Amino acid sequence: MGPDFRLDGQAAVVSGASRGIGRSIALALAGAGADVVLLGREQKTLDDVAREIEAQGGAALPLVADINQTDQAVHVAELAREQFSQLHVLVNNAATSPFARLAQELSVEDWDRVMDVNVRGTFALIKAVGTHMISRGYGRIINVTSVLSEQGISRSIPYSPSKAAIRSLTQCLAADWAPHGITVNALAPGFIETEMNANGRKDKAFYEAVRGRIAQARWGQPDDLAGPAVFLASPAARYVTGTTVVVDGGFSNTWAYRI
């Protein structure tokens, strides 16, 4: 018998699920058989994704939440459990990166805003959902970080440091929760065409410079994260924990840079 990538009878919680990478992962998990709890800040876009999942024959629960507020993270976890009984998979994808400025141009409040969403919100949701996972001795947690968590570039503060924190959190949590039957891994996307970087991609020189450093000579698409996410969520990844799967088309492989 081959590896088991199916998620039938399981429930997955996906934050930042209304668009981009989160939407693609949510649809892929549903396609693998999971019921999906969709978290985000806009009801309409969440409802749109829920309808896509239901059109596939799946079940979805769209919930608006600001997960860096601990009480809201706990509340949505409780609602998810009421709807689907057990929570098996958590994908932490919610993130923000509203700045593209030099460090001296940023305020401490700018730093706090990104850290609150990208780090505090991730940990708050992990605590809320992880409590249920620990109680039943099973779970798959997937944190979306970035190749920029290890490769700092200009104008990437505080986004890159926030993603480095998520990468470290993944490793520490994998060690803490392995005895509870929970695996914790990360996905590190490279340069993916999403709404978050739409303005940056309008700079053709920047767009082409990045493309020229990618071995596959193209920016990624949100769907490129779908397969790796399903793998890490599935029984096939039972012996994989504390690691980061890089999905960047070869960007971080310096030997692949074309001269």
Catalytic residues: 159
Q: Per-residue DSSP letters for 65-114?
A: --TTSHHHHHHHHHHHHHHHS---EEEE----------GGG--HHHHHHH
Provide the β-strand partners of residue 143.
92, 186
Residue 124: Cβ within 10 Å count: 22
Q: Which of 136, 145, 147 is nearest to 170 (CA)?
A: 145
Question: For residues 132 and 181, what is the distance between their CA atoms, to the nearest angstrom?
Answer: 12
Question: For residues 1 and 4, what is the distance between their CA atoms, to the nearest angstrom?
Answer: 9
Question: For residues 38 and 60, what is the distance between their CA atoms, to the nearest angstrom?
Answer: 7
Q: Which of 13, 9, 10 is nearest to 142 (CA)?
A: 13
57 Rama sector, left if φ>0, alpha if ψ -120 to 50, beta otherwise:
left
